[in-house]
Structure 1
Amino acid sequence: MRVAERLARREQVWRELDALLIRFEQAGALRGRRLLPRSSTIAAEQQEDPTAPAPDGRIGAAEVVRLGELYRAACADLMLAEAYDLPRETVAYLHALVGRAHNSIYRTPGFRVRDWASELLEVVPRRLRSEPFLKLASAVFWGLMILAGLLAAGRPGFAEKIVGPGQLANLEEMYARPLTEMPREDAFMTGFYINHNAAIGLKCYAYGLTFGLMTLYELSFQAIVLGTMFGHMATTPSASNFYEFVTAHGPFELTAIVMSGAAGLRLGWGLIDTKGQRRLDSLAREARASLPVVGTAVCLFVLAAFVEGFVSASALPYWGKAGVAIGSTLLLLVYVGLGGRGAAGESGGFAESVGKGSERDRGR
């Protein structure tokens, strides 16, 4: 009963913590606002009564310190209440109170467009420039795609073995007519392309959980199938219609596949080379580092889908679509080659930035 009596006497402390949390919420301090420096007059007034709120309604240092003290005390009370099997109502109340206080003190930073833009335009390009798995993914994808295209164009029967005669017949029939004669459903097809293309990229990334083996398979599969289609269509009467359609959106879409594959390979390598950590910790480290790259790839997939839906199938002359492709390619080259150069904290590479992040985590 002594524990129960002690906890009963501490109800006033719980009510104080509850009231302080409400005050923080009303003042907006829990969202990182209004925690501003005090004037000397306000500070002098609070020295007389540190627990009193500031007259201007802002949160003071004394209240922040008091919140920490009350939180630690409530955690101890919750431990005692659970250890001595006190009434469920008391335990549930303390759980809720401690949870609110925990979320207030250890809150996660909110989303800010500036931080997201900095990650996208500075951090990701720096990582991509020295990412060895981007080089590997590019070599696998572009190498197999070019090889398959040459074999499909130069060796009769190769395309049928890879893709199948039915798929080739459907492809030729689809582009037998000029694009201006095809029905237009731009908005619907844009949504379809976003879903289809982003799914390919996310598969390349998620397959990294198989130690990167399935990522290599997916990259190789997409490269061989696409290269075979490109090579076969170059030998058909529908070649001009086909290439008029695929030219504009190709740079964004194909680059996004390669980037997704690179992120998936990085994820798989984290399961192989753990750098002395537990395998799950190593996986979490590489996942945190590779997610911005995957996010960038998804952005490229979305851009490619809009170009494919509204430009590729439009009546724009071929030189206009080729201009879009050239502009997209130059934009990607500038992004990867110059993005983030000279920015503060530029690191030597993907693995180095990951290692620094891990050291900071261990330092905490």
Structure 2
Amino acid sequence: MDIDAFVSAHRPVWDRLEDLIRRRRSLDGAEVDELVDLYQRVATHLSQVRSASADPILVGRLSALVARARSAVTGAHTPAWREFIRFFTVSFPVVAYRARWWWLGTTAVFILVSTVVAVWVARDPSVQASIATPAEIDQLVNHDFADYYSEHPAASFAGQVWTNNAWIAMQMIIMAILLGLPIPYILWQNALNVAASAGLMASHGKLDVFFGLITPHGLLELTAVFLAGAVGMRLGWTVVDPGTRKRGEALAEQGRAVMSVALGLVVVLFVSGLIEGLVTPSSLPTWARIGIGVIAEVAFLAYVTFFGRRAVAARETGDLERAPDLAPTAG
């Protein structure tokens, strides 16, 4: 690119945009339309200069001009409460909804593996013996499994559970940095833990106790873990198949989307922790405790489906950074 010729050809556009920005409070309708059009054109110029030139002065000037124009076009900074509402009605649910097939696949594989291993443990005494001694199994089945949910004060237990669950989900979010490759192993370990407990309880006729205690909080908790794993693996797949975008841009966008999920799951796992700390060990009948868990699960899935589908229809991506450096293309 001939920088001198480029500057000479486009300087009138830049100067005109400067003038419109200075007079933005007194612009008429036609000038506002012109401001938006010139903002898009200069953003494209910035993109061209960045890709074809290393001139820091020109890049700096155009970056500042685009930033000022964007501020003039979008108006004042959005209040914090509106950003908060937007996050929970757009950014988080749209990322979850767009990852729904990865999410569903992760859930299906986890349930299949857990079921197969649990049946194996329940039916094979030699497998049970490899897990623990008969005395240890008896202690787990008849005491430890149920006592786990009631041996601590409800409030502190809820906080402990929230921290633990959040850490499991964050592990998978962090593993996204490694393109999601370790995530199947983390899910496999969790599936084995669930299956071992289920198999041992079933072998002693305590499967009703198992589901009565794990279902109220487990539905929402595992759903959150599956979502974290799904978006992490989807990030890794972006390297293989970036779609129509450049691989770097696709990875950056998907990486920021993963952060949306990380922030949203803090709240989801907080709710799950409250259920595990306050509902699971409560004196409510089993059907009532399970009913609360089912209601929480259905409410979360309905929330993601409703707001996620609406955001997808509006062509939202859930990107936390609303493309300040991705120039719109004109024409």
Pairwise TM-score range, normalised by the shorter structure:
0.5 to 0.7
Report the counterpart of residue 125 of structure 2 in structure 1.
Answer: 156
Residue 328 in structure 1 maps to residue 296 in structure 2:
yes
1:343 to partner: Cα distance: 5.4
Higher-Rg structure is: 1
Report the counterpart of residue 18 of structure 2 in structure 1.
Answer: none
Residue 226 in structure 1 maps to residue 194 in structure 2:
yes
Q: 2:88 aligns with which of 120, 134, 138?
A: 120
Question: 1:253-296, CA deviations, whole angstroms, 9 ceiling, x for partnerless residues?
Answer: 010110110121122223444566465x5433211122222222
Aligned equivalents of 1:167, 1:151: Cα separation in 2: 19
1:173 to partner: Cα distance: 5.0
Q: Is the CA contact 1:126–1:346 (under 8 Å) kept in the aligned structure 2? A: no
Residue 140 in structure 1 maps to residue 101 in structure 2:
no
Report the counterpart of residue 186 of structure 1 in structure 2.
Answer: 154
1:362/1:167 CA distance change after superposition, 3 Å: farther
Report the counterpart of residue 304 of structure 1 in structure 2.
Answer: 272
Aligned equivalents of 1:306, 1:325: Cα separation in 2: 11
Q: Is the CA contact 1:122–1:341 (under 8 Å) kept in the aligned structure 2? A: no
Report the counterpart of residue 212 of structure 2 in structure 1.
Answer: 244
Aligned equivalents of 1:319, 1:148: Cα separation in 2: 27
Q: 1:291 aligns with which of 259, 266, 276?
A: 259
Report the counterpart of residue 82 of structure 1 in structure 2.
Answer: none
Amino acid of the structure 2 residue aligned with 1:361: L
Aligned equivalents of 1:362, 1:288: Cα separation in 2: 17
1:303 to partner: Cα distance: 0.8
1:251 to partner: Cα distance: 1.2
Aligned equivalents of 1:267, 1:167: Cα separation in 2: 41
Aligned equivalents of 1:284, 1:111: Cα separation in 2: 26
Question: 1:101-140, CA deviations, whole angstroms, 9 ceiling, x for partnerless residues?
Answer: 9xx9799957623333333234433443342422332233
* Structure 1 runs not aligned, ≥5 long: 1-35, 39-100
The SS at the match of 2:157 is helix
Amino acid of the structure 1 residue aligned with 2:83: D
Q: Is the CA contact 2:106–2:230 (under 8 Å) kept in the aligned structure 1? A: yes
Residue 363 in structure 1 maps to residue 331 in structure 2:
no
Report the counterpart of residue 213 of structure 1 in structure 2.
Answer: 181
1:324 to partner: Cα distance: 0.5
The SS at the match of 1:213 is coil
The SS at the match of 2:203 is coil
Q: Which has the higher contact order (CA 8 A, sep 6+)?
A: 2
1:187 to partner: Cα distance: 1.4
Range moving further from structure 2, 208-217 or 139-148: 139-148
The SS at the match of 1:194 is helix
Report the counterpart of residue 172 of structure 1 in structure 2.
Answer: 141
Aligned equivalents of 2:170, 2:83: Cα separation in 1: 23
Question: 1:114-169, CA deviations, whole angstroms, 9 ceiling, x for partnerless residues?
Answer: 333333234433443342422332233222222222222333333554x5559745
Aligned equivalents of 1:284, 1:167: Cα separation in 2: 49
1:361 to partner: Cα distance: 1.2
1:247 to partner: Cα distance: 2.2
Q: Is the CA contact 1:259–1:294 (under 8 Å) kept in the aligned structure 2? A: no
1:167/1:145 CA distance change after superposition, 3 Å: farther
Aligned equivalents of 2:82, 2:260: Cα separation in 1: 15
1:251/1:357 CA distance change after superposition, 3 Å: same
Amino acid of the structure 2 residue aligned with 1:248: P
Amino acid of the structure 1 residue aligned with 2:328: G
Report the counterpart of residue 260 of structure 1 in structure 2.
Answer: 228
Q: Is the CA contact 1:179–1:314 (under 8 Å) kept in the aligned structure 2? A: no
Q: Is the CA contact 1:175–1:242 (under 8 Å) kept in the aligned structure 2? A: no
Amino acid of the structure 2 residue aligned with 1:134: W
Report the counterpart of residue 87 of structure 1 in structure 2.
Answer: none
Report the counterpart of residue 316 of structure 1 in structure 2.
Answer: 284
Aligned residues between the structures? 261
Q: 2:164 aligns with which of 196, 200, 206?
A: 196
Amino acid of the structure 2 residue aligned with 1:290: V
1:109/1:358 CA distance change after superposition, 3 Å: closer
Report the counterpart of residue 96 of structure 1 in structure 2.
Answer: none
Using the aligned pairs only, state the percent identity. Answer: 23
1:273/1:318 CA distance change after superposition, 3 Å: same
* CA RMSD, Structure 1 to Structure 2 (Å): 3.9
**Structure that is richer in helix per residue:** 2
The SS at the match of 2:182 is helix
Aligned equivalents of 1:125, 1:251: Cα separation in 2: 18
1:307/1:160 CA distance change after superposition, 3 Å: farther
1:199 to partner: Cα distance: 0.5
